[in-house]
Amino acid sequence: SDLQKQEERGELLQPLIFIFLVLCSVLLYFKVSLMDPGFVKSEEEAGESEEQSMVIPQVPSNIKMRRCGYCMVKQPMRAKHCQLCQHCVRRYDHHCPWIENCVGEKNHPLFIVYLSVQLVVLLWGGCVAWSGLYFEQSWDWLQHNILLLVSFLLIVIFTVVVLLLLISHLYLISCNTTTWEFMSHHRISYLRHSELENPFDQGVILNLWRFFC
Residue 156, Cβ neighbours under 10 Å: how many?
14
Q: In the annotation, is 96 catalytic?
A: yes
Contact 88, 73 (CB under 8 A): yes
CB of 65 closer than 8 Å to CB of 51: yes
Q: Are 71 and 81 in contact (CB under 8 A)?
A: yes
The active-site residue, picked from 24, 68, 71, 96, is 96
Catalytic residues: 96
